[in-house]
Amino acid sequence: MRSPLRSATPVGLVALLALSGCGFSGEEGGAARAADREQRIVVDNFRAPVADWALESDAAYILSLSGCLETLTRYDEAAGEIVPALATEWEQVSPLEWEFTLREGVRFQDGTALTADAVVTSLRTVLDAEVPARAFSPAVVSGVEAVDERTVRITTPSESPLVPYRLASVNTGVLAPAAFEGGSVDPFGHCTGPFTPVSEQPKQSLTVDRNEDYWGGEVQLAGAEVRFITDGATRATQVQTGEADVSLSIPAANVAALEADSAVEVLKAESPRTATLYMNNGRAPFDDVDFRKAVRSALDLDALAASVYEGAALPATGPFAPSEPWATEGAEAPQQDADAAKELLAAAGYTAERPLEIIAIVERAEFADVATVIQENLKSVGVPVTITTKEYAAVEPDLLAGDYDMVLSQRNRLIDIADPIGFLTADYTCEGTYNLSHFCDEDYDRLVAQAAGTADTEQRYELYARAGEILEEQAVNVWLVNEQAVDAVRADLQNHRQDPLSRYVLRAETTKPAS
């Protein structure tokens, strides 16, 4: 089987375009001005590296978005599929083994060649980390070895069609062996990407210069500064003042002002995050499917999206965003129907013996308001609800132990890899490690297990869709709104493409005209 995922035509390709990276800047509004190769840009990012550039940590995202760190494969936002990056092809040579052929002529920024040994050194560092990244942990990868100078073999503990997806995770980015000398990770001059990190102001910024020898073509910008600015309003201001060319993750409250500014372009894309009202299926009254459906019917998702989220999120149609290729085609958001809710409550034999509790985690400030809206909706159909706010870490043990009624939280479905298998398995199978809903259904488990072993992308996506339908039919949770990734860029920036997961921002093709 030769590179099956490369040739596959995923279901809903067009839809996936919308899911991941539909926002482009520059050129389309008129004739592009000539690019100036001496230009440098500023990117305001919402997080700073905290783990001394350890690749298994979130620091990998910063190295990747800065145009430094590259992976063997890459999830192409435009094509909606896994495409070659540092590896040109890959093959499942046996049920438990995949081999990746490395691209020829690639050199690290320190001048050393990209070899299989170098890749193995880098990947083993991640695999052996004290706290491994879930995309590439011993649970899913059992071995990494060099077959010859240009071939890397990845061994899995069980048959997995998703290894190329795992090697697109930024946590599996490849650094030169010299980056790992001395016990810590040093990415400076040790990446392969279009930009080379040259200096760092701790907690403030990372400065990168053009990589003149980039294997992927001529890099247009002379360099960039990635600033770490945690305050969303400050990021929004900086792109308006022109201090920043790109500001990632703009808060909903700042979107209207930016949209009114002709010097700024606001880019929006559906993010794989859905705000969810988790219901404890393991205890009464939520152990009755009619009661769960009643809760769903009682809620006004349109009003919720319009009010609390100020239009920066759309009513959810189920566990997946409509544009995802594994979502059920034509699915619509449930509409509020108080009469139906009351009938379902009667069918469930519900009596308001005690107020039910909604826990709103404090890490998401908007959840307090969401909980209030839900409280009003449920009160109108005769379900009394109290609201408590708690820190997520404080409430997690209770959630996992099944000691709660309802909790407002949200999940990134593609947190590990560009495929929802991890989410569907961990969150909803009977033995799922993050099954907060305490949902258990044999048919569902069978489907997910079948999907996990299905190499054919189209078939696998169909199985995911069926799994999603079961979750919706069983009203396991109420999926409230699909959040949007909102970035803002200066209008003169050209060839910038938005990535809803903020993995790729500085690219070789990005240009800016002389100011």
Partner 1 sequence: MTAFLARRTATLGITVLLASFVVFLIPYVTPGDPVRKIIRSRVAGEVIDDSVAQALAADLGLQDPLMMQYLRWLGRLLGGDMGLSYASRTPVAEQVLPALAVTLSLVVMTLGAAAAVSVVLGVVAALQEGRAADRVITTVTQAFIAVPEYWLAPVLVLVFALNLSLLPSAGWSGPSSAVLPVAVLALRPTSYFTSAVREGVLDALGAEHVVAARARGLGRVRTLRRHVLPNGLLPLTTLVAVWFAGLLGGSVIVEVVFAIPGMGRLLYDAVRNSDIPLAQGGVVVVVGLAVLLTTAADLVHGLLNPRLRGRRA
Q: Which residues bind partner 1 (CB under 8 A)?
A: 48, 50-52, 54, 56-58, 61, 130-134, 139, 171, 184, 201-204, 227-231, 233-234, 237-238, 240-241, 243, 390-397, 411-412, 415-416, 426, 433-434
Residue closer to partner 1, measured from CB, 357 or 456: 357
Q: How far is the CB of 319 from partner 1 (least distance, A)?
A: 16
**Residue 435: closest CA among 400, 409, 403:** 400
Residue closer to partner 1, measured from CB, 52 or 148: 52
**Residue 18: closest CA among 507, 500, 510:** 500
Residue closer to partner 1, measured from CB, 5 or 399: 399
Q: How far is the CB of 145 from partner 1 (least distance, A)?
A: 24
Q: How far is the CB of 62 from partner 1 (least distance, A)?
A: 12
Residue closer to partner 1, measured from CB, 227 or 507: 227
Residue closer to partner 1, measured from CB, 87 or 418: 418
Q: How far is the CB of 243 from partner 1 (least distance, A)?
A: 6
Residue closer to partner 1, measured from CB, 188 or 434: 434
Q: How far is the CB of 63 from partner 1 (least distance, A)?
A: 14
Q: How far is the CB of 347 from partner 1 (least distance, A)?
A: 34
Residue that is written with structure tokens 């046996």 in the block: 94
Cβ neighbors of 43 (< 8 A, separation 6 or more) are 65, 66, 224, 225, 226, 227, 244, 245, 246, 247, 248, 505, 506
Asked whether the beta carbons of 381 and 427 are under 8 A apart, the reply is no
**Residue 506: closest CA among 77, 43, 158, 132:** 43
Residue closer to partner 1, measured from CB, 170 or 312: 170
Pairwise CA distance, residues 158 & 143, whole Å: 12
Q: What b-and-e string marks burial along 117-147, b requiring 16 or more CB atoms within 10 Å of the CB?
A: ebbbbbbebbbebeebbbbbbeebbebbebe
Tell me, what DSSP letter sits at residue 403? Answer: -
Residue closer to partner 1, measured from CB, 210 or 411: 411
Residue closer to partner 1, measured from CB, 190 or 413: 413
Q: How far is the CB of 34 from partner 1 (least distance, A)?
A: 26
What is the total residue count of the chain?
A: 515
Residue closer to partner 1, measured from CB, 324 or 427: 427
Q: How far is the CB of 175 from partner 1 (least distance, A)?
A: 17
Q: How far is the CB of 483 from partner 1 (least distance, A)?
A: 16
First vs last Cα of the chain: how many Å apart? 51
- Count Cβ atoms within 10 A of the Cβ of residue 460 and give its class: 0-12 exposed, 13-18 middle, 19 or more buried: buried
Token code pair at residue 331 = 């699915």
Q: How far is the CB of 395 from partner 1 (least distance, A)?
A: 8
Asked whether the beta carbons of 365 and 403 are under 8 A apart, the reply is no
Q: How far is the CB of 137 from partner 1 (least distance, A)?
A: 8
How would you classify residue 299: left for phi > 0, otherwise alpha for psi between -120 and 50, otherwise beta?
beta
Cβ neighbors of 158 (< 8 A, separation 6 or more) are 96
Residue closer to partner 1, measured from CB, 259 or 458: 259
Pairwise CA distance, residues 248 & 505, whole Å: 9
DSSP 480-504: EEEEEEEEEEETT-BSEE--TTSS-
Tell me, what DSSP letter sits at residue 507? Answer: -
Upstream peptide bond of 202 is cis (omega within 30 degrees of 0): no
Beta-carbon neighbour count of residue 188 at 10 Å?
17
Pairwise CA distance, residues 225 & 44, whole Å: 8
Q: How far is the CB of 217 from partner 1 (least distance, A)?
A: 30
Token code pair at residue 409 = 């939280």
Asked whether the beta carbons of 432 and 291 are under 8 A apart, the reply is no
Residue closer to partner 1, measured from CB, 229 or 451: 229
